[in-house]
């Protein structure tokens, strides 16, 4: 049998009261049992007393009868009647009563002569024996009882003498007593029930008086004191039980009201507290009359209130933490965690409630350069301004998320591509109007925005929106773009989606797998002879048999900040190519290197290792300046070091980017490669073409060796040649080709086709 784990205080109180009542009942039963025993003892005593009383009464009756007999025997008139019985009946019927010898009509007297014969018969109803029993001794008293037709008579015979000397027997006297009436009338019984006294004597049977007690039956009279005692005791017990029951009931009610119910309420409150349902309503705040419980209640309520306050504070803090955990501390907008959560929810909601949704991805152009140039404090400030501007530009319910260093995102619901573009344009307008000049930043701070849209009927593609926006954003970053690109509309290739994804995968795989980066070599021709002076090594990624072009993966390199890793991979591949000996001796190789990589020891170490090929293949490093060089002195030092191992330093893409003049002044640059945008200006017969031409002439005059990139027409080539630019490259002169193809081409052309250097 399984025992209950715990009991309620009400059950305990009930059990206690029931136990108390049972105990009282047991005590009452014991008292009743004892009372019954006492009663039995008293009854026994009563019976004994009744027996003693009855025996005494009988004895008194016998004695009284005997006394009467003695008196009669001594009475002169008795003797007179025995001698002169003429007036015996007068004596018998009158004198014995008048004289007081017999005091009761229940007693009759008769006289017998010496022969025992009755002097004269009496009345019929009280007939006395005509003759004394023969067994009667002449000189002795004798008593006996006879049942005479239902009535028991007591007879007492006695001798009567002539004188006190008892010498002459005159005769006999006989007293007849109606036994029962005399016994019961004469006696006042206290213990004997007179109505139940009887003598077991058959009709006509004679009983000697000495055997009387053996035939006497009786019952004790109920003792009124005993009955009163029993009644009082019973009433007392009942009253005690009722009183105790009432007291127990009252105690239970009081206990319930004062203790159990408050404790129950406290217990319920505690349970409610544990379940977080505590409600300190006024009804529950009623005071408890037990001071200790009241103290507990107050303490509990105070504690609970404090707990609630603490809980509220914790909730507030949690909300704060939650907010903070989802808020970008720098810009105040939501962070990446919030983005991920909201995007997941937004994505699910969009699927359940079809609507047009748009995903906007923002990226600050050249933020890394700004950050490196003006310091992180100003970079942070720029980001704050951008965030503020974007928040202002977005709709009221739209959220802005900072998902990367300078990348922000938002997703718009119930929108159209046109509305999304409007939002993007508003964002750009506010960014353009922002006062970055107040921060001392003179470079333009731009924002590239990629937009991906999903119509209500194409929500199964909503998961691809971030990727599409990413592609669109890189599309927007491409030079010449309006910096806002809508995926599918502005991206030229419809399959860009897959490509972008493939390029990223290909890039990371290429960085991890040597050989996947394939170097294509584009010839750089010396002017005006147009012979190949050296080749520029241009990286391609061979991925699943397809060749991925730089414009596809370089933005990924830039966005992922993989410049150093990528440059190392390129240097390794160039080292491999050069080590393969496929290029004829004397062919110089120009290697593109980002400005950030120059300051990395791994790059410098790799360059120093690569410099061993300088004997057979003069090496030139083309420093791209699409990003700002912040550690100018350190870069200059490394470049000087590299120059000592015969590297030539070229400034790539001159005419675009940040501070090419400053680079020319501060860096040890040997060659300046004019960007295709500048070279194209040479073909124009206007002031811009004149400026570029004059600038190129001036550069040549101060000793820089100039290279014109992107020469695609004869007119441009002639112009380049006329300006005295030393080298030119472009599709007009030759497209980049793989090493094997280059080697094969060179082998086919013979010795004349060897490099000019």
Partner 1 sequence: MRLYLFCLLILVFPAAAHAVIAQQEMRPAIPANADYLIGEPGKPAVLLLHGFLQTRDFSTVSTLARGLQDTGYTVLAPTLSLNIPNRTQSLACEAVHKHSLDDDVAEIGRWVSWLKSHGHRSIVLVGHSFGSLQLLAYLSLKPDAAVKGYIGISLIEAQIGTAVRPALIAQLEGRVLNKQRMLVNQPLSFCRKYPSTPEGLLSYARWDQARLLAALKQSPVSARLIMGDRDSMMEHDWLKALEHVQTPMVIVKGANHFMDGAHEFDLLESTLKFLEDIQPASTR
Binding site for partner 1 (CB under 8 A): 75-77, 79-81, 83-84, 86-87, 90-91, 95, 98-99, 162-164, 168, 170
Of 153, 132, 129, nearest to 141 by C-alpha is 132
Question: Least Å distance between CB 71 and partner 1?
Answer: 11
Rounded alpha-carbon distances, angstroms, from residue 161 to 115, 157, 314, 381 = 14, 13, 132, 164
Are 363 and 392 in contact by the 8 Å Cβ rule? The answer is no
Print the SS3 string covering 554-568. Answer: HHHHHHCCCHHHHHH
Question: Least Å distance between CB 124 and partner 1?
Answer: 23
- A 10 A CB-CB count for 360 gives 30
Comparing CB distances to partner 1, the nearer of 170 and 628 is: 170
Comparing CB distances to partner 1, the nearer of 90 and 213 is: 90
**Backbone dihedral region of 503: left (phi > 0), alpha (psi from -120 to 50 degrees) or beta?**
alpha
**Interhelix angle 367-393/417-433, nearest 10 degrees:** 120
Q: Which helix (H) or strand (E) holds 83?
A: helix 76-83
Question: Least Å distance between CB 139 and partner 1?
Answer: 17
Omega before 528 within 30 of 0, i.e. cis: yes
Question: Least Å distance between CB 111 and partner 1?
Answer: 13
Comparing CB distances to partner 1, the nearer of 76 and 457 is: 76
DSSP 382-417: HHHHHHHHHHHHS-TT---EE-SSSEEEEEESS--H
Question: Least Å distance between CB 91 and partner 1?
Answer: 6
Comparing CB distances to partner 1, the nearer of 94 and 579 is: 94
Question: Least Å distance between CB 173 and partner 1?
Answer: 14
Spatial distance between the Cα atoms of 266 and 299, rounded to a whole number of angstroms: 11
Spatial distance between the Cα atoms of 205 and 150, rounded to a whole number of angstroms: 11
Comparing CB distances to partner 1, the nearer of 169 and 180 is: 169
Say whether 69 sits in a helix, a strand or coil: helix
Question: Least Å distance between CB 96 and partner 1?
Answer: 11
Comparing CB distances to partner 1, the nearer of 158 and 191 is: 158
Question: Least Å distance between CB 175 and partner 1?
Answer: 19
Sheet holding 357-364, edge to edge: 401-402, 407-412, 357-364, 447-454, 484-486
- Compute, in degrees rounded to 10, the torsion defined by CA atoms 435, 436, 439, 440: -110
Question: Least Å distance between CB 90 and partner 1?
Answer: 6
Question: Least Å distance between CB 199 and partner 1?
Answer: 36
Spatial distance between the Cα atoms of 452 and 461, rounded to a whole number of angstroms: 11
- A 10 A CB-CB count for 629 gives 25
Rounded alpha-carbon distances, angstroms, from residue 592 to 220, 571, 649 = 142, 9, 10
Question: Least Å distance between CB 74 and partner 1?
Answer: 8
Comparing CB distances to partner 1, the nearer of 87 and 213 is: 87
Question: Least Å distance between CB 214 and partner 1?
Answer: 40
Comparing CB distances to partner 1, the nearer of 83 and 243 is: 83
Are 185 and 245 in contact by the 8 Å Cβ rule? The answer is no
Comparing CB distances to partner 1, the nearer of 170 and 390 is: 170
First to last CA, the chain: 105
Of 399, 442, 471, 447, nearest to 628 by C-alpha is 442
Comparing CB distances to partner 1, the nearer of 92 and 648 is: 92
CA-CA-CA-CA torsion sign (373, 374, 380, 381):
negative
Residues 6+ apart with CB under 8 A from 183: 57, 58, 61, 197
Comparing CB distances to partner 1, the nearer of 98 and 694 is: 98
Residue 217 DSSP class: E
Question: Least Å distance between CB 118 and partner 1?
Answer: 18
Are 118 and 130 in contact by the 8 Å Cβ rule? The answer is yes
Comparing CB distances to partner 1, the nearer of 170 and 671 is: 170
Comparing CB distances to partner 1, the nearer of 171 and 736 is: 171
């Amino acid at each position: 049998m399984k025992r209950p784990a715990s009991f309620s205080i009400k059950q305990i109180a009930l059990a206690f009261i029931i136990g108390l009542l049972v105990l009282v009942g047991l005590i009452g039963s014991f008292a009743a049992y004892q009372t019954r025993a006492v009663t039995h003892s008293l009854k026994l005593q009563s019976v004994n007393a009744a027996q003693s009383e009855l025996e005494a009464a009988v004895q008194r009756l016998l004695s009284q009868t005997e006394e009467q007999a003695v008196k009669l025997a001594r009475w002169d008139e008795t003797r007179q009647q025995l001698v002169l019985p003429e007036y015996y009946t007068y004596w018998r019927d009158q004198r014995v009563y008048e004289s007081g010898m017999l005091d009761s009509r229940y007693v009759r007297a008769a006289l017998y002569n010496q022969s025992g014969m009755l002097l004269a018969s009496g009345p019929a109803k009280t007939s006395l024996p005509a003759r004394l029993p023969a067994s009667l001794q002449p000189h002795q008293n004798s008593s006996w009882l006879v049942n005479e037709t239902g009535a028991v008579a007591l007879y007492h015979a006695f001798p009567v003498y002539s004188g006190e000397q008892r010498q002459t027997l005159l005769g006999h006297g006989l007293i007849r007593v109606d036994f029962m009436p005399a016994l019961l009338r004469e006696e006042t019984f206290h213990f004997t029930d007179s109505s139940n006294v009887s003598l077991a004597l058959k009709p006509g049977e004679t009983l000697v008086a000495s055997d009387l007690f053996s035939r006497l039956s009786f019952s004790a009279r109920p003792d009124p004191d005993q009955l009163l005692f029993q009644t009082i005791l019973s009433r007392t017990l009942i009253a005690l039980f009722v009183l105790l029951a009432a007291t127990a009931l009252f105690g239970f009610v009081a206990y319930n009201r004062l203790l159990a119910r408050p404790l129950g309420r406290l217990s319920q409150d505690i349970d409610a507290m544990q379940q977080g349902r505590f409600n300190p309503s006024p009804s529950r705040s009623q005071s408890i009359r037990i001071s200790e419980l009241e103290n507990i209640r107050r303490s509990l309520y105070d504690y609970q209130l404090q707990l609630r306050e603490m809980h509220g504070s914790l909730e507030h803090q949690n909300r704060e933490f939650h907010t903070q955990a989802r808020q970008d501390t720098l810009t105040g907008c939501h962070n990446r965690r919030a983005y991920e959560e909201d995007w997941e929810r937004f994505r699910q909601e969009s699927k359940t409630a079809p609507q047009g949704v748009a995903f906007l991805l923002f990226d600050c152009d050249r933020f890394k350069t700004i950050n490196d140039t003006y310091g992180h404090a100003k970079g942070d400030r720029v980001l704050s301004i951008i965030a503020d501007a974007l928040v202002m530009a977005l709709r009221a319910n739209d959220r802005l998320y900072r998902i990367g260093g300078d990348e922000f995102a938002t997703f718009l619901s119930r929108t159209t591509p046109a509305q999304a573009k409007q939002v993007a344009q508003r964002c750009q307008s506010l960014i353009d109007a922002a006062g970055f000049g107040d921060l001392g930043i003179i470079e333009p701070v731009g924002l590239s925005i990629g937009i991906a849209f999903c119509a209500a009927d194409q929500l199964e593609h909503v998961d691809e929106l971030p990727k599409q926006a990413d592609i669109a954003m890189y599309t927007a970053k491409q030079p010449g773009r309006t910096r806002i690109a809508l995926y599918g509309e502005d991206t030229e290739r419809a399959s860009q989606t897959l490509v972008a994804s493939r390029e990223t995968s290909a890039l990371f795989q290429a960085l991890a797998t040597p050989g996947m980066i394939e170097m294509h070599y584009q010839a750089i021709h010396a002017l005006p002879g147009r012979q190949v002076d050296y080749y520029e090594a241009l990286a391609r990624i061979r991925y699943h048999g397809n060749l991925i072009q730089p414009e596809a993966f370089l933005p990924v390199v830039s966005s992922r900040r993989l410049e150093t890793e990528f440059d190392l991979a390129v240097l390794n591949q160039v080292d491999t190519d050069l080590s393969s000996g496929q290029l004829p001796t004397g062919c110089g190789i120009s290697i593109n290197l980002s400005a950030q990589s120059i300051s990395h020891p791994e790059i410098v170490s790799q360059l120093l290792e690569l410099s061993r090929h300088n004997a057979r293949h003069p090496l030139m490093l083309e420093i791209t300046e699409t990003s700002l060089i912040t550690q100018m002195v350190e870069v200059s030092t490394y470049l000087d070091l590299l120059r000592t191992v015969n590297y030539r330093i070229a400034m790539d893409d001159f005419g675009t980017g940040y501070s090419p003049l400053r680079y020319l002044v501060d860096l040890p640059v040997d060659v300046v490669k004019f960007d295709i945008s500048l070279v194209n200006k040479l073909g124009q017969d206007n002031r811009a073409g004149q400026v570029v031409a004059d600038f190129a002439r001036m550069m040549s005059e101060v000793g820089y060796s100039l290279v014109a990139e992107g020469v695609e027409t004869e007119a441009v080539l002639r112009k380049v040649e006329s300006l005295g630019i030393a080298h030119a490259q472009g599709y007009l002169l030759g497209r980049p080709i793989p090493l094997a193809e280059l080697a094969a081409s060179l082998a086919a052309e013979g010795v004349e086709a060897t490099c000019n250097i």
